[in-house]
A and B are shown apart, each in its own frame.
Chain A
Amino acid sequence: MSTVFIALQANEETRPIIDAIEIDNPQAVVNRQPAMVKIDAPGRLVVRRETIEEQLGRAYDLQELQINLITLSGNVDEDEDTLTLSWNE
Chain B
Amino acid sequence: MDMKATKKKLGMKERYRVLTRDLGWEPGYQSKEAIFPYVRYEGIKVHDWDKWEDPFRLTMDAYWKYQAEKERKFYAIIDAHAQNNGHLNLTDARYLSALKIFLQAISPGEYAAHKGFARIGREFPGVGTQVACQMQAIDEIRHAQTQIHAMSNYNRYYDGFHAFADARDRIWYTSVARSFFDDAMSAGPFEFMIAIGFSFEYVLTNLLFVPFMSGAAYNGDMATVTFGFSAQSDEARHMTLGLECIKFMLEQDPDNLPIVQGWIDKWFWRGFRVLGLVSTMMDYMLPKRVMSWREAWEIYGVENGGALFRDLARYGIRPPKGWDDAEQAIDHMSHQFMLGLYQWSFGTAFHSWIPSDDDMAWLSAKYPDTFDRHYRPRWAHIKKLKAAGTPFKNYGLARLCQCCQLPCVFTEPGDPTLTCHRETVYKGEKYQFCSDGCKDIFEHEPEKYIQAWLPMPALFSELGGDVAAWMDWVNLRDGADNGDYDGSRDQKHFDEWRGLATSNL
Contacts and interface: CB of A to CB of B under 8 A. Distances in A.
A70 B311 contact: no
B213 interface: yes
A70 B233 contact: yes
A36 B243 contact: no
B66 A71 contact: no
A2 interface: yes
B173 to A, nearest CB: 26
Given A35-B217, A79-B13, A63 B62 contact: yes
Contacts of A60: none
A69 B239 CA distance: 12
B146 to A, nearest CB: 15
B499 to A, nearest CB: 27
Contacts of A72: 236, 239-240
Contact of B237 (A5, A35, A66, A75): A66
Contacts of B66: 63-64, 66-67
Contacts, number: 97
A67 B62 CA distance: 11
Interface residues of A, number: 30
A7 to B, nearest CB: 7
B386 interface: no
A27 interface: no
A70 B232 CA distance: 5
Of A36, A77, A79, chain B has the most CB atoms within 10 Å of the CB of A36
B290 to A, nearest CB: 6
A49 to B, nearest CB: 11
Contacts of B55: 75-78
Interface in B282-317: 290, 303-304, 306-308, 310-311, 314
A25 interface: no
Contacts of A89: 310-311
Interface string B264-280: 00000000000000000
B210 A36 contact: yes
Contact of B218 (A4, A7, A34, A63): A34
Interface string A8-40: 010000000000000000000000011110000
Interface of B: 11-13, 55-58, 62, 66, 69-70, 73, 205-206, 209-210, 213-215, 217-218, 225, 229, 232-233, 235-237, 239-240, 243, 290, 303-304, 306-308, 310-311, 314
